[in-house]
Structures are given as structure tokens and as C-alpha cells.
Structure 1
Amino acid sequence: MTPRPHASLGRVLDDLGATLLELVHGGPDVARAIGGVAIHDPLDDAAPPPDALVLGVGLGSPAEIAALLRSLSGHAALGLVVRAPVPVSEEVAAAVEDSGVALLGLTRGASWAQLAAMLRSLLAEGDIGGVGPETLGGMPSGDLFALANAVAALLDAPVTIEDRGTRVLAFSGRQDEADSSRVETILGRQVPEKYARVLFERGVFRDLYSTDQPVYIEPVTASSLPRVAVAVRAGDEVLGSIWAAVRAPLTADRTTALVDASRLVALHMLRIRAGVDVERRLRTDLLSTALEGGRGARDALDRLGLAGRPVVVLAMATTHPDGTTATEAALATERQRLGDALAMHLSALHPRCATALIGDVTYGLVPSTADGDERALTIAADFLDRVGERTRAVIAVGPVAAETADLPAARANADRALRVLRAGGARRTARLSDVHVEALVLELRDLAASQGDRPTGAIAKLIAYDERHTANLVETLSAWLDAFGDVIAASAAVHVHPNTFRYRLRRLAEIGDLDLTDPEARFAAMLQLRVLSTSPRTSSQRID
């Protein structure tokens, strides 16, 4: 079993902070392990366990909160959770400072039972040596399919569990008793767009997400069955929904059962999300530590199963054309999806491959063979061919890192090549040796920009002339240099007649006082055009 991070307060805040909990006041030691979860009872003098997270059920006034905070300081409690909004008076703030106990708020709408179950689930997850499957509500933790079958039995109707994007997360048996639209949904693991559009136009999703009670939905087509759906919530956050294909409205008992089931589904969905996030975060931390090559790199590689092996570093990023309308959230989702796909692709080739999304780049460590980076290039190209052109992605390949100390240089090597690939062009995979000159040009541009360098000499004169006369001399010179002096090819590149192009060449030589027969002058001009910001015009207006 892969070791997981110990259950600390910082981890609880990371996993549940956006959904159930918020840090209201105090600067807790987020790395300190939680010793247990205790529910405060004013009629019970039993002391909570050391380093406990205490649930202050029913506490509302600042005086009650302050008194409990001070009493908990003697038990070294880590935090006190009370129902939001939390009144932070001067008395409460002083009690937090004096006791060292952090004050947290439970999101409005979330239940204490839900919070307690999630906390105990996370604490149990931190027990590395735990034996046997964990359960929530009598169901194996995270097994949404078993839960869907249980709900279907309670409602006597086939059920699907869906996320906010109408993607099917799990479904029960007996789907053959439903209709063709349900079968289509199950096969595609997504509500078909034509049905989702009808539901949206009817305001079904608006009604569904604005209540915690089941919503009865009339058939979408003449041949389909009605539906009963209920939102799955964790506090104010809607995680998804449960849909049952029914022949009539639910009875009162079944309505209550569906509402209760939605709360249990929420626990399982949160548990799945927390578990996935923890695994991702652990792998990201280990891979990041390994790539940095510091004191903990060898231990990180050992935990990744790559210690003592030569490895190749892969670096993958998505590229998007200028003017893209995708939101940052959509881009982040796309990067994560591609990273997961790369992880699956690499694991099929070698069980010890490791991948993680660090920033906006997905890094991979692939055990090296005799052909090293050549094989890694083939693997990268094969992966990009499989994912197709719907998402534009590029992969750079670093050199073989034979020792742990070689990893930082290998990563830097891959990063330099990746930057060239992200800058555009036809290449989708490359090693630094394949794009070394382009990488040097990009780095020279950085240096020039940091020093505020601008074009000088002949290039500066041509830029000034172009700006005054709406001319194209800089573009003409650039095309001629790129074509190695071939006027026919250069004139075709800028879409003008060769004679017009020759005239422009003579003009730019005169205006810029540029000797085109001098190789040093040509090199200087080309270097400035490549490295410095000249903003050459792309039109082909005629100069008279």
C-alpha cells in the first residue's frame, strides 16, 4: 500500500476547506497530527483526547466559545469547530490567542454528522497499517455503484448518480426497465446533449439545485419515463445529483429515503474526492522533491519505486492559440485530464513510471533503457498521436539522469526544450539538442528584455522609416535573410513581385546604410531581428 500523509490539521483544511470548513481565527500548527475528533457536551466532564479537533455543537454566543477555548488549552486541543457565521469578538480573539486553539467554522447547511463522518474517514485514511475496507453508512467507502444499487432497491427504480456536469459516476442495475434515453446515457456515461438542453430550457437544473428536496420531472419525450431527482450537497456546494426513472411520483416514505440517500452519497463523493486529492498531492510532492535533487530526493525516488534506476524526464504542457476563450478553470481541468491520460499511458509501458502536475506542466519520470531518450521521444509521440488534435499538447524529453544528482539538470534541460515547443511551430516533441538554437534565441530575448535593449544601427533606421512612411522595409529584410538571399523565394513569402522586392532591397540598403554583401552586417541584422522586439509589419503595401 502506498503511504499517505499523516492526518494533520493542514490536510483537513486542504481537503474540506472549500466545502465544509473555514479557518476563522488563529494560526494553528497545520503540520501537527490530529489525535481524534470529540463532540463537546456541556453536561459531560470527560476530557477530549490530546490534539483533538473538538466539535462545538450548539455553541453560539461569544462567551460560550471563549470559555470552551480556554478550557481546551489544558488538553492541547488543535481546534474548535462551531457553526458559521462565527462571532469573533475581542473576547473570542483573545481566547484563541491565549489558548493556542484554532477556531474554525462549519459551513451553513452542512450537518455535524456529515462533518464528523468525513473527519473520521480522513483520520482513518492516515492509519497506514489499517486493515480491511473502510465503510460509510454501511457501504464500502467510495463504492458509488453499490450505493446506487442500494438506492434503487429503496425506490424500486433504476438509478444513476451524476456530477454537476451530468456525467454518470455510477448506475444501478435494472436499467433495462427504464427507457431509451437512460440506456443512451449509460452507454455514453453522460446525459446526451439533446436531453440536457431540454432539461436546462425547462429550468429543471435551476429547480434541482435550489432545493434539498426531490424534484419530479415530466418525461422529456413521448416514449420516456418521468424522473425524480435530488441534489447531492455538502453544505452550500452541490456535488451532483441522483436520478431515478419512475412511473409515478414517489411516496412520502420513498421521498424521505431519497433525501437520506443523497446525504450518504455526498459523504462518499467527498471521500472519493479527498482520497484522489491526497494521492495526487502526495505524488506531486514526491516528484517535485525528486526533481529538485535536494536532500530528500533519494527518499522521494525510493517511495516512487525509482531509486537506483536511470530515468528520463518528460515535460508536457498544453498550448493555446492567441485569443483563446477558455477560462482558467477549463484550462486547469484540461491539464489535469491530459496528465491523468499520460499517467495511464506510461503505466501501461512500465509499472514504475511516475507523473504529476506541477504548476501548469505535467512531469513524468520514465525508467531508462539502453536507447534512453530516443525511446522516450517515441513514447511521447505515440501518446500525442493517441490524444489527437482536439487538445494541443507538446512534450519535451530530457537526457537520461543516471544518478539522483542529475535530475535537476535533466529537468532544466526538458524545461528549456518545452519552452521552445510552447512558443509555436510544427514540432510536438523534442529534446533540447533538437531545438538548442531556438532555446538560445529565447534566452537572449529574455536577457535583452531585462536590460531594456532596443534595435540600433541599420535596423533602428529601418524601423523608424517604416513607422513614418507605412512601409515594409523591415519585413523585406527579414524575408531576404530567411531565404538566404533568394529574391524569388523571399518575394513569394511576402506576396510581392520580384522586381518590387529588389527595389525595396535597394531602398533599405540606402536608408539603413546597410551593406548586404558584408556577412558581419547580415549576421548583426539577423541577430537583432530575431532577438530584439522590432514589431515588423506583416502587410505588403507597395513603396513608391
Structure 2
Amino acid sequence: MSQRPRASLGRVLGDLGDTLLELLCGDPDHEGEIGGIVIDDPDDEPLFPARALVLGVGVPGADLADLVRRMGAHGAVGVVVRSRPVSPEVRAAVQEQGLALLGLRRGATWAQLTALLRSVLAEDDIATIEQESLGGLPAGDLFAVANAVAALLDAPITIEDRNSRVLAFSGRQDEGDPSRVETVIGRQVPERYARLLTDLGIFRDLYRQQGPVVVDPADLGHQAVTKQRVAIAVRAGDEVLGSIWAVMEGEITPERAAGLTESAHLVALHLLRVRAGADVQRRLRTDLVSTALEGGAGAQEALARLGIAGRRLIVVGASLPADHERDSERAAEMNRLTDAFAVHLAATAPQAAVALVGGIAYGLIPVLPGGGDAEDRAVRVVQEFHDRVGASLPVVAGIGSVGADIAGLMQSRAVADRVLRVLRDGHVTQRVARLADVQTPSLLLELRDLAQARGERAVGPLARLLEYDEHSDAGLVESLEAWLDALGDVTAAAHALFIHPNTLRYRLRRITEVSGLDLGDPEQRFTVMLQLRILAPR
């Protein structure tokens, strides 16, 4: 098995140079492949892969020469900054370090650039099968396919999925109109254009017809759409995989229509290869992460294939609350969570490995040398993930301990599982935690497990209260627990129960009468509080 090749700096400029990037100075014709993307942050020393492409976000002009020298010392192949005039000092630094300085064009965002770079680089840290070819092009390389189709049709094209997301695009996008540039930069057909296409029945015709569909800009009536579009659906049998959109002026001759049809067949093969490859890689990554977490003879080899052998690691377990979604929907939501978690860690901890194992999204995060408290950093990284996706995915995550070997990795997973159980069952309000934050609730859950395994049942005063509530539905146990949680504050406890304080005072008197508890005795209060946590039905 061989490592899938990453793109060179020259290819990145060739694919993205029309709309996002320009060469400010330096030599882009470096031999070899880009090893990864690094975002420069003066307050957080990142982990530099070999031949990294560095994104200098918000770097002032006065600090640019220093940034170039620092990145050259780390072996970076290029630095990207916002487009600007380049001073002689910066040119000298670029020449001295032997790298290329690229400019991000005005109107494009760093988030868009990062997403596009990851698509072009097609980074894959797991070994894959030897490079295949389909139609004379590398299998699954949609950007190469897009450029080949553009050359065949003599028009800039985009390859889009059923949701109008741009999967790949060709060069020469500057020949399009403003709406095409906006679509390529955003990797998505803007909602206002998609709505117009829907209202005009373009998508309906596109998915019903076998041949091309012509979109006249005059029909859309939007000032940003000035050039004709020709689209054709990409099919595999009866399934529509996506579509090809060409900025193509003039009449659609039979020769042009035949070229579009042939292109659609070629793109369909590559889209199927991408989908199959993604499924294979997901299963392979899951097997490797699972093997590493379980320990045993194959764990070290699994870590080596994941590219994190010999590293100190922290295991993070992420999931959804126990009461979130039905079982039929939970699996799909967990797949979404795992994919989002993998994307987040790819930007913040590039060598991390993420996989869905046993219904939990586990992340194996390498510890940065000299990076301070590793658990604190893991909490920050995962908390940022929660803040980003919490509105749509109410994720909870447990942070494990630092593991220096296979045994330590297994211990880290055990700790993450303990923490995650507390969070999933809603015993605390936190959404991201480590063991120090939830140790007591975790121990109580383990005591509860032990009591259930031994068949323990509540006896004494609590048993009498439970029996009384079962027959009379008086809510005495619930009232007692709320009063204890409120440290004896009747007003606060009544508010939590949505009852009048006088009603709660009456129930407290009944609790004493029925159970025989002396609520003024701290020992009895502690005993019944512990029994409520361990023995009472919850």
C-alpha cells in the first residue's frame, strides 16, 4: 500500500489561482508535495508537518518578513497572506528562505481558502491502494476531471452535488460572471440563485432530461448572472449523483451536446469512485482506531498506520445526550457528529485520528511537545467544537488522561468513557469535562452499578417513602430530593417543583410522619441523600 500523493504548490496555484490566490513573489515550482496546512498563531505554537503551506491570517505588513523567516526555519514550502504590495525586505526574506509568498485575493475569506485547499490537497493520513485511473485520469481526482472536461468543452465548469454544493471546479473561472465567482469561492450555489433556478423549473428539467439544459441569463433577471449556463445531470443508472455546469455562450450544437453527455458519464465514474473510497477509508479508520483503543498485539501497528505511533495521546469521547433523538435518527446524527469532529480536529490538531466506535466518536489527539497542560488544551479544542455545533448537535464530550503507551491509551479511553457517561445521562450541566470536573458523580454512578449488581434495595425511611408514593402518588420522594438539593431552602425547592412553598412545607411534615426521618439531623440527611443517588429509581 502506498501513500496517496498530495498536490504540489504549482498545482494549488493552477487550481485556485484564478479566483482565490496570486503569486506575490518567490518560486512556486518546488519539487515534492505539500505536507499539510498550518494556520500561524503567535500565541499557540502549531505542529509543523514537512513542507507545510502556512496561512498567515491577519499578519501586519511590518511583521511579514519575520513571518517568512520563521516559516522558512520550519521547512514551509509557502506562506499565504492577504494580497498586498511586497516590500524589498520581504522579497529578500522570501529569496533567502527559498519559499513562495502567495496572496489571498480581496473578497475571498480564509475559511473558504482553507476548505478549498483541503479539497485540492486531498489529504489522507491513512495508506490507500495504489493510484487507479478512470478515463485516463486519477480515480476520484475531481479537480483533474473538471479541468479535463473544461478543456473538452472549451468552457469553465463546476461539478456539483444534488444540494448545489461545488465538489470541484476547473480553471478559467475568471471568464465567468460575478455569480459564478461567488459560487466557486463559497463552494455552494448562493441561495438566491438556487431559488431562481427552482422557481423556473431548471432543476426539475435537469433531473428529468437525459441531455443538457440551457439557462438563459435573461430568464433569471439577476444583474450578477450575465452569461449563459449549460447543465447536465450526472447519473449512475436511475440515481442522480450531481450535475455539471458550464459557462458556455452560443448555440448548443449536437457536437457540444455529445461532449457534455460523454463528460457526464466520465464524472459519474469518478463520483462513484469518490463515494466508494470514502466508505472504504471510513471503515479502515474505524478499524484502526478501534484496534488502538482496545490494546493488544495489533494496537502499535494501528497507531503506526494512523501516523501517531510513539506519540503521547489523549482520548476524547464525543456523543449525544442519552435522550436525544430516536434510535432510527441517532445513527445518522452520530455520523454527522463524527464527520464534523474530524473536520474540526483536522484544523486544530492535524494528526488527530477520529472514528465512530461503539456509538461514540473517539478522537486520538497527539500531545504537542512543550504545549503546556495537555488536558487543558484538549478541553479548549473540544469546547470550541461544542460552541460551533452545539446549536444543531447538542454534543457532550469527555476528555481522557494523557497516555504515553498502549496501556496509557487504554486508560485514557476508560477515563473518557467515565466522564462521558456522566455527561450523557445529564447528571451535570457541563457539556465538555474531564475527570476532575465530574469525579464524584462518576463514583456515584459506579456505586449505583455495584448496588444493582448485588440486588440492593432501599430499606428504612426511604423504602417507606417510596412505598407510600407508589400507592398515593404524593410526590414525597421528589419533594425530599428537591429540598435536599436546595440545602433546605423551601422557597428555592418549591420553585424547582413548581408548587407553593406552603405546599412543600406540608409535604416535609408528611415526610417526617411517614418515614420517621429527622430532617434536622445532618447524618440522617446525608444518609438519605446518598440513598437517593444510589438506590432510588431514576
2:349–2:365 CA contact under 8 A, matched in 1: no
Q: 1:362 aligns to what? A: 361
CA drift at 1:255: 1.0
> Aligned match of 2:438 in 435, 438, 457?
435
Cα shift at 1:477: 0.7
Mapped partners of 2:420, 2:429: distance in 1: 13
Change (3 A) 1:307 1:330: closer
**In the aligned structure 2, how far is the partner of 1:467 from the partner of 1:151?**
73
The match for 1:269 is 271
Amino acid at match of 2:146: A
Residue among 507, 515, 519 paired with 1:516: 519
Q: CA deviation at 1:486?
A: 3.1
Matches within 5 A, 1:399-410: 399-410=401-412
What is residue 102 of structure 1 aligned with on the other side?
none
Q: Deviations over 1:315-354 (max 9, x none)?
A: 2224486468994565144223323223313434xx4x33
* TM-score, with length taken from structure 2: 0.66
Q: 1:485 aligned to 2:488?
A: yes
The aligned counterpart of 1:539 is none
Change in Cα spacing, 1:413 to 1:492, as seen in structure 2 (3 Å) is same
AA paired with 1:482? D
Distance in 1 (alpha carbons) for counterparts of 2:327 and 2:450: 31
Letter of the aligned partner of 2:188 in structure 1?
Answer: Q
**2:294 matched residue in structure 1:** 292
Matching of residue 393 in structure 1 with residue 391 in structure 2:
no
In the TM superposition, what are the counterparts of 1:245-260 in structure 2 within 5 Å?
Answer: 245-247=247-249, 250-260=252-262
Indicate how the Cα distance of structure 1 residues 245 and 345 shifts in structure 2: closer, same or farther if over 3 A, else same.
closer
Q: 1:126 — aligned with what?
A: 129
TM-score after normalising by structure 1:
0.65
Query: Which residue is equivalent to 2:46?
Result: none
For 1:235, which of 234, 237, 250 is the aligned residue? 237
After superposition, give the CA deviation of every residue in 1:237-285 in whole Å (9 maximum; x if it has no partner). Answer: 3221112244455211111111110111122222333333333333322
* Partner-residue secondary structure (3-state), 2:264: helix
Residue of structure 2 in register with 1:100 after alignment: none
What are the within-5 Å matches in structure 2 for residues 82-481 of structure 1? 126-127=129-130, 134-217=132-215, 219=217, 221-223=220-222, 224=225, 225-247=227-249, 250-319=252-321, 322=324, 327-328=329-330, 330-348=332-350, 351=351, 353-368=352-367, 369=369, 371-385=373-387, 389-424=391-426, 425-446=428-449, 457-463=460-466, 465-466=468-469, 471-481=474-484
2:510 corresponds to 1:507: yes
Q: Is the 8 Å Cα contact of residues 229 and 244 (structure 1) preserved in structure 2?
A: yes
Structure 2 vs 1, CA of residues 386 and 497 (structure 1 numbering), >3 Å: closer, same or farther?
closer
8 Å contact kept, 1:394–1:429: yes
Letter in 2 for 1:182: R
Q: Secondary structure at the match of 1:435?
A: helix
Contact 1:339 1:357 survives alignment (8 Å): no
Over 3 Å counting, the alpha-carbon distance change for 1:207 and 1:387 in structure 2 is: same
**Which stretch has the larger CA shift, 157-166 or 217-226?**
217-226
SS of match in other structure, 1:312: strand
| In 1, Cα distance between equivalents of 2:381 and 2:449 | 32
* Contact 1:216–1:249 (Cα < 8 Å) also in 2: no
222 and 383 in structure 1: CA distance in 2 versus 1, 3 angstrom threshold: closer
How big is each residue's C-alpha offset from its partner over 1:207-262, in whole Å with a ceiling of 9 and x where there is no partner? 43344332344556213455332221233432211122444552111111111101
Q: CA deviation at 1:415?
A: 0.9
Native 8 Å contact 1:394 1:421 kept in 2: yes
1-structure distance, mates of 2:406, 2:324? 39
Which letter does structure 2 place at the counterpart of 1:300? Answer: A
Q: Partners of 1:534 and 1:314 in 2: how far apart?
A: 30
**Deviation of the 1:417 alpha carbon:** 0.7
Q: Is the 8 A contact 2:456 2:535 kept in 1?
A: yes
Q: Which amino acid aligns with 1:408?
A: M
Partner amino acid for 2:144? Answer: A
Quick one: structure 1 residues 532 and 179, their matched pair in 2 at CA, closer, same or farther if it must change by over 3 Å?
farther
Structure 2: which 5+ runs fail to align? 5-126
Query: Partners of 1:467 and 1:194 in 2: how far apart?
Result: 59
Q: Distance in 1 between matches of 2:263 and 2:536?
A: 62
Q: Which runs of 5+ in 1 are unaligned?
A: 5-123, 128-132, 536-544
Per-residue CA deviation, residues 383-416 of structure 1 (Å, 9 max, x unaligned), is: 4446564433233221222322332232122111
Once residues 433 and 2 of structure 1 are traced to their aligned partners in structure 2, the CA distance between those partners, rounded to angstroms, is: 43
Contact 1:214–1:258 (Cα < 8 Å) also in 2: yes
CA spacing shift, 1:336–1:310, aligned 2, 3 Å: closer
1: CA distance, partners of 2:442 / 2:249 = 65
1:411 is paired with a residue whose SS is: helix
Q: Aligned in 2, Cα 1:264/1:482: closer, same or farther, shift over 3 Å?
A: same
In the alignment, the residues of structure 2 paired with residue 271 and residue 160 of structure 1 have an alpha-carbon distance, to the nearest angstrom, of 18
Q: Contact 2:349/2:366 (CA < 8 Å) preserved in 1?
A: no
Against the structure 1 CA distance between its residues 455 and 153, is the aligned structure 2 distance closer, same or farther, given a 3 Å change threshold? same
User: Is the 1:455–1:534 contact (alpha carbons within 8 Å) kept by the matching residues of 2?
Assistant: no
Structure of greater Rg:
1
Distance 2:521 2:241 in 1: 69
Cα distance in 2, alignment partners of residues 429 and 514 from structure 1: 38
C-alpha deviation, 1:176, in angstroms: 4.4
Identity %: 54
Aligned residues: 408
Partner of 2:23: none
SS at match of 2:220: coil
SS at match of 2:518: coil
Q: What CA distance in whole angstroms lies between the structure 2 residues aligned with 1:288 and 1:158?
A: 44
State the shift of 1:163 in Å.
1.1
